[in-house]
Amino acid sequence: MSGTVIQPYLFFGGNCEEAIAFYRKALGAEVEMMMRFSESPDPVPPDKLKPGFENKIMHASLRIGGATVMASDGCDEDSTFAGFSLSISVPKVEQAKLAFDALAEGGQVTMPLDKTFWSPCFGMLTDRFGVAWMVSVPGERPK
């Protein structure tokens, strides 16, 4: 499976554009590509897209640090983020605090930032869009 890449693809059920703006501000995400359903070279079959979603995001690609996160509104208002977390690792405690506080704005902290046996700074939260995040600073490797 050489060359295989796994990337998260998030469906925001109508809030994708708002989420992109939030991640740009909170994490410095860069929009690499964004296309609305109305811009698709192949029209979406009318029975597949909820009325009013024509100008919603069909596909977006964001660069956050060295990672690519893809996003969409999907075809309706259904968006449930369960069973996973996005993990963001930064080199310094100060960066972890900035990212954590920015992502927590309007969200819910599930584990405040603190020192753990594996990290000098680790915390968990769910952002305002329901996406779970783990924020950490790498610890020293055991000898």
- Residue 13: give its domain's CATH number: 3.10.180.10
If pLDDT is split at 50, 70 and 90, which confidence band does 2 have? confident
Convert the pLDDT of each residue in 98-109 to its tens digit: 999 999 999 999
Are 85 and 71 contained in the same domain?
no
Instruction: Report the candidate in 100, 71, 97, 101 with the shortest Cα–Cα distance to residue 8.
Output: 71
Are 60 and 97 contained in the same domain?
no
| Whether this model's pTM surpasses 0.75 | yes
- Residue 109: give its domain's CATH number: 3.30.720.110
pLDDT at 123 over 70: yes
Can you give the pLDDT at residue 6? 85
Instruction: Report the candidate in 36, 31, 40, 38 with the shortest Cα–Cα distance to residue 70.
Output: 31
The token pair at 58 is 């069909």
% of the chain surpassing 90 pLDDT: 76
Convert the pLDDT of each residue in 38-64 to its tens digit: 999 988 887 888 888 889 999 999 999
